[in-house]
Structure 1
Amino acid sequence: MPARKPVLLYFYPAQSSFVVKDLRLMEQRYEVRHKGFLPAKKWQTPLVWLGQVIFLLRHIWQAEALVCMFAGYHSFFPALFGKLARSPCLIVAGGTDCVSFPSIGYGVFSNPLLGKFARWSYQLAAHIAPVHEKLVWQDYTYQPNDFPHQGFRYHCPDLKTPHTVVYNGYDATFWKPIPNVVRESNTFLTVCAGLNMRFTQRLKGVDLILEAARKVPHATFTIVGAPENFQFTTQPANVRLLPKMPLADLIEVYSGHTFYLQLSMSEGFPNALSESMLCGCVPVVSKVAAMPDLIEDSGFLLPQRSPDLLEELILEAIGTKELFQLGQKARAIIAGQYPEQRREQELLGLLQKLTSAS
């Protein structure tokens, strides 16, 4: 009879694709007992907390380790119980829990109360695993309305908890160009959830894309993630909206576009950008967080949030002759440097190290 796997408790604020991937990864070595923190309304938060505390009281004494995806309200009690029970709590810092953008009300540290719970969580945790170095500390020059630096060590200046960067990982055998799909010229693609919210449009740079579409009418701009029957108030004729779609269909859409746009004001280690690069898209990104490091010299970098600079950059991209080679280079970067196996080895290795030391 095989030996029973050690117990790991896993906490997350939403069951996103990267949460599902990490769950699958950790289940190779652990018996993972997971608990979402998903209040439908703000007033339900105390009730969800109560459910989380009951869950912890039931399982903490069997747990070899605890893992929280992001820091926030949901990570405080796991970090506290882990400290009390001497079971190491690892917080995976993914993006929003490392930044503050008061100009648009984005980031854990733009909310004073939520920021306190994130700081307490980071302090109580045994270790932090950001998905990129830029989430620890970065100089921020993309737009001038917020802080000159970002990262959890900037917003938590007295933090003593150690950290280890563990990059996201991707399956290059799944995300790859479809050979018989024609990649149309002068085509730009972005994937964006919450497209009907003005806040999201600004955060993800969709407002810039709409302005660029008006200025460059001979290019086509596709945005995936539109709710049913949604249209922008003034939508240029060369902007096409597609609904949220299964991953297999998304591969075909990636394969049919030349460029991928990620013009966010804030990002961690963006999945859609990495997936599109694996599918041969040439990246056009804002100078934010991990993105300049991710694309290296395989694409185009927008240094500041400016419609005029974006227009110039798009025209430069369209006029570039070596686009096929750039797409191949983009794929090679993600496939070579950020494979799923690397995240698997490094994350499981870090957990092994933490549990051995506790």
Structure 2
Amino acid sequence: MSARKPVLLYFYPAQSSFVVKDLRFMEQQYEVRHQGFLPKKKWQTPLVWLGQVVFLLRHIWRAQALVCMFAGYHSFFPALFGKIARKPCLLVAGGTDCVAFPSIRYGVFANPLLGRFARWSYELAAHIAPVHEKLVWQEYRYQPNDYPHQGFRFHCPNLRTPHTTIYNGYDADFWQPDLTLTRQPNAFLTVCAGLDMRFTQRLKGLDLILEVAARVPEAIFTIVGAPAGFRFPDQPVNVKLLPKMPLHDLKSVYSGHTFYMQLSMSEGFPNALSESMLCGCVPVVSQVGGMVDIIQGSGYVLAQRNVELLETLVKTALTADNSQRALNARNIIKENYPEGRRETELLGLLRQLTTSFD
């Protein structure tokens, strides 16, 4: 009879693709007991907290470690119980839990109460594992309406909890160009959830894309993630909307476009950007978060949130020979950010933490 796996408790605010991926990694070595923190209304948060406390009281004494994806309301009690029970709590910092953009009310630290719970979580955790160094601390110059620096150590200046960066990882065997498709040379692609919300449009730079589309009619701009029947007001004719789609179909869409645009005001380590690069798209990114480091010169960088600068960048991209950039983009993600690297480093860090607490 095989030895029983040690128990690990895993908490997350939404079951996103990266949560599912990390769960798959951890289930290889642990019996993972996981719980989402998903109140449908704000007033239900105390009830969800109560359920989380009950879950912790039932399982923490058997657990070897706890993991929280993102810092926020959902990470406070796991970090606190881990501290009390002397069980290491690893907090994975992914993006929104490291920033504050009051101008658009985005980021955990833009909300004073939520920011307080995030700070407490960071302080109580045994270790923090950001997906990129820029989530720890970064200079911010993309637009002038918010803080000149971002990162959890900027917003938690007295924080003593150690951190280890563990990059996101991607399956290069799955995410590869579909060579049966013809790639449109003048086509730009963006994938975005919640694109019908004005807040999301500004956060993800969709407003810039709509503006530049009107200025560069010879280009095609495709946005994936549109609800049924949705259209932007005064949508340019060269902007095409597609619905949210499964990963296999998304791979085909990546393979049909030459460029992938990620013009966000804030990002950590965006999945769609990395997936598109593996599928041979040339990246066009804002100078935000880890994106400039991730693309490593294989694409184009918008230094400031300015439509005139973007227009120049788009026209430059359209007239350039991008064949080598596309090859470089795929190789950068394949060689530097393989799925196996995240798996090895995440499980290695958990082993290190549990050993130090024994």
TM-score between the two structures when normalised by the length of structure 1: 1.00
1:263 aligns with 263
1:89 aligns with 89
CA distance in 1, matches of 2:38, 2:206: 27
CA distance in 2, matches of 1:25, 1:15: 15
CA distance in 1, matches of 2:282, 2:108: 31
1:343 aligns with 342
1:219 aligns with 219
CA distance in 2, matches of 1:25, 1:96: 23
Runs of 4+ in 1 over 3 A off after TM superposition: none
CA distance in 2, matches of 1:59, 1:138: 38
2:305 aligns with 305
Task: Count residues in correspondence.
Answer: 357
Does 2:182 correspond to 1:182? yes
SS at match of 2:284: strand
Percent identical pairs in the alignment equals 75
CA distance in 2, matches of 1:246, 1:111: 33
AA matched with 1:188:
F
- Cα offset for 1:151? 0.1
- Cα offset for 1:257? 0.1
CA distance in 1, matches of 2:31, 2:110: 36
SS at match of 2:61: helix
CA distance in 1, matches of 2:191, 2:226: 9
1:330 aligns with 329
For 1:97-108, list aligned pairs within 5 A: 97-108=97-108
- Cα offset for 1:26? 0.4
CA distance in 2, matches of 1:300, 1:319: 13
AA matched with 2:78:
P
SS at match of 1:2: coil
SS at match of 1:348: helix
CA distance in 2, matches of 1:264, 1:184: 24
- Cα offset for 1:233? 0.9
- Cα offset for 1:185? 1.0
AA matched with 1:129:
A
Does 2:265 correspond to 1:295? no
- Cα offset for 1:170? 0.2
2:354 aligns with 355
1:172 aligns with 172
CA distance in 1, matches of 2:233, 2:320: 33
AA matched with 1:131:
V
Does 2:69 correspond to 1:77? no
- Cα offset for 1:154? 0.1
For 1:68-147, list aligned pairs within 5 A: 68-147=68-147
- Cα offset for 1:297? 1.1
- Cα offset for 1:80? 0.2
CA distance in 2, matches of 1:228, 1:44: 29
- Cα offset for 1:324? 1.5
2:279 aligns with 279
CA distance in 2, matches of 1:234, 1:44: 38
Q: Which runs of 5+ in 2 are unaligned?
A: none
CA distance in 2, matches of 1:258, 1:325: 12
AA matched with 2:332:
I
CA distance in 2, matches of 1:176, 1:153: 36
CA distance in 2, matches of 1:6, 1:179: 44
SS at match of 1:61: coil
- Cα offset for 1:325? 1.2
CA distance in 1, matches of 2:57, 2:118: 21
CA distance in 1, matches of 2:299, 2:265: 18
Q: Deviations over 1:201-248 (max 9, x none)?
A: 000000000001000000000000000100001100000000000000
SS at match of 2:60: helix
- Cα offset for 1:197? 0.1
- Cα offset for 1:51? 0.2
AA matched with 2:308:
D
AA matched with 1:14:
A
CA distance in 2, matches of 1:270, 1:300: 16
Q: Deviations over 1:65-124 (max 9, x none)?
A: 000000000000000000011010000000000000000000000000000000000000
CA distance in 1, matches of 2:319, 2:28: 47
AA matched with 1:211:
E
CA distance in 2, matches of 1:130, 1:262: 20
- Cα offset for 1:22? 0.4
TM-score between the two structures when normalised by the length of structure 2: 1.00
CA distance in 1, matches of 2:299, 2:81: 45
AA matched with 1:337:
N
CA distance in 2, matches of 1:119, 1:31: 29
AA matched with 1:348:
L
CA distance in 2, matches of 1:163, 1:355: 15
Q: Deviations over 1:40-72 (max 9, x none)?
A: 000000000000000000000000000000000
SS at match of 1:66: strand
